Amino acid sequence: MKTVHKKEWAYIVLLDESTGEYFIDVVCGGVAAYLVRLKLTDDEVEAFKLDSDALDSLAERVSYSPDSFADRTVSDSPP
């Protein structure tokens, strides 16, 4: 995985160079921070390619309510 964009203490956008798929690792939690990894949709990738800040809103929603994105969470989310 290659880091292609980063917002400190918010999220990291990753590119799997072998598949061309994009992922976002979002910082969640309060006292104990943890990461939640989602695979980005095609629309999200296109928006990101036009504006690297396009994922700010998505990251904020994931951070405040990670359970709402459970169906998109990648099973190998980082520890």
pTM of the shown model: 0.88
- The pLDDT, as a whole number, for residue 5 is 96
Q: Which residue has the tokens 């359970």?
A: 67
> What 3-state class would DSSP assign to 4?
strand
String of DSSP letters for 17-74: TTTTEEEEEEEE-SSS-EEEEEEPPHHHHHHHHH-GGGGHHHHHHHHH-GGGGGGGB-
Encode the chain (79 residues) as per-residue pLDDT tens digits.
999 999 998 999 999 999 999 999 999 987 888 899 999 999 999 999 999 899 999 999 999 999 999 999 987 655 5
Listed by start position, the domains of the chain span: 2-72
